[in-house]
């Protein structure tokens, strides 16, 4: 059961980072390389506690669907989404936003189990953990870029 944890400082307030991280539209922008789109549940705007979204994307050349539900939310400090249907056996994805003197420390924790037992664990070692970490870092980098542009526009007016 791999756990991927990434963190980055964003020069923007926690509320802005929190909202961007739960934005369906920002998620689609950050996952454009996989042609990810929301096709059911919440399909635009900010996802809320108890809501679901079904994503359709192409990973490893295969079109896949994944449905997640927001199972915990403490605005603007953290929220958690959990897979309810999809290719993983299970996953829990926690997003945290900690105020810092220079903005927000965003911590992303992705805890998952691959399907297929031993074969899934081998895939984790060979490529899946690295692939998922790169996917999360790309997504978080897009959030950082949007947040910092938005914050600088806000501060300059």
| pLDDT tens-digit series, residues 2-57 | 999 999 999 999 999 999 999 999 999 999 999 999 999 999 999 999 999 999 99
**Cα–Cα distance between 120 and 126 in angstroms, integer?**
10
Fold of domain 3-156: Alpha-D-Glucose-1,6-Bisphosphate; Chain A, domain 4 (3.30.530)
Q: Residues 105, 98: contact at Cβ < 8 Å? A: yes
The confidence score (pLDDT) of residue 18 equals: 98
User: 157 pLDDT band (50/70/90 cuts)?
Assistant: very low
3-state secondary structure 46-96: ECCCCCEEEEEEEECCEEEEEEEEEEEEECCCEEEEEEEECCCCEEEEEEE
Distance CA 90, CA 82 (A): 8
> Does 136 have pLDDT greater than 70?
yes
pLDDT > 70 fraction of the chain, expressed in percent and rounded: 97
Q: Per-residue pLDDT for 120 more than 50?
A: yes
Six token digits for residue 16:
């802005």
- Dihedral of the alpha carbons of 71, 72, 76, 78, in degrees to the nearest 10: -100
Preceding peptide of 110 cis, ω within 30°: no
Each residue of 61-75: pLDDT tens digit?
899 999 999 999 999
User: What pLDDT is recorded for position 108?
Assistant: 97
* Share above pLDDT 90 across residues of the chain, in percent, rounded to a whole number: 83
Residue 156, pLDDT above cutoff 80: no
């Amino acid at each position: 059961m791999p756990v991927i944890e990434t963190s980055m400082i964003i020069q923007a307030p926690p509320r802005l980072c929190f909202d961007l991280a739960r934005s369906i539209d920002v998620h689609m922008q950050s996952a454009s390389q996989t042609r990810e789109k929301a096709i059911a549940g919440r399909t635009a705007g900010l996802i809320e506690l108890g809501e679901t979204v079904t994503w359709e994307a192409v990973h490893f050349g295969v079109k896949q669907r994944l449905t997640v539900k927001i199972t915990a939310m403490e605005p603007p400090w953290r929220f958690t989404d959990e897979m309810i249907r999809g290719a993983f056996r299970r996953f829990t994805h926690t997003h945290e936003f900690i105020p810092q003197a220079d903005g927000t420390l965003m911590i992303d924790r992705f805890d998952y189990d691959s399907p297929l037992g031993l074969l899934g664990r081998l895939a984790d070692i060979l490529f899946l953990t690295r692939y998922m970490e790169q996917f999360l870092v790309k997504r978080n980098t897009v959030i950082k870029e949007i947040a910092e542009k938005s914050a600088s526009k806000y501060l300059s007016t």
